[in-house]
Amino acid sequence: AKAAREKAVQDSLALVAKNEADSVEACRYIKENGVRLYTSSSLGGIVQDEAAEGCRGHYRVIVGSFKDKANAHKKLTQVEEAGEFGSHFIRMRNGMIAVAACPSDRIQNVVWGLKELKTNDVCPADAWILKCE
């Protein structure tokens, strides 16, 4: 039993170390590639996040932000057709409708999602990351 507990502790420490290394790598990618990261409060706040009830995280990739609802729907449809990215709308207080994807609590997962989205024609070069507060 003691050996099993020690192994569990070692496994847990190894997982923490891997998560830390992955987070550092994600931050390096953001910096080196000029990916913008905004907090929701810096943009005036969120009115409605369609993923909030089943929310899987505080971070999201934003593949477009639109005043016109039809344009937002067009972009959302493109992302949905590209794959399983958890795409949804976020209505901002500034009147914009953001098309969001890849929700996660882990920045490394969002960066991985951004990289995957960039392999599709639906992700603009100026896609950015939103941290929901």
Q: What is the pLDDT of residues 9-55, one digit of tens each?
A: 998 989 988 888 888 999 999 999 999 999 998 998 888 887 655 45
Quote the pLDDT of residue 60.
Answer: 93
Q: What is the pLDDT of residues 67-99, one digit of tens each?
A: 999 999 999 999 999 988 989 999 999 999 999
Residue ranges in the chain assigned as alpha helix (H)? 2-32, 69-82, 107-118
Q: How far is CA 99 from the centre of its chain?
A: 11
This prediction has a pTM of 0.84
Quote the pLDDT of residue 6.
Answer: 92
Quote the pLDDT of residue 50.
Answer: 73
**CA end-to-end distance (rounded Å), the chain:** 42
Q: Residue 23: exposed, middle, or buried by beta-carbon count in 10 A (0-12, 13-18, 19+)? A: middle
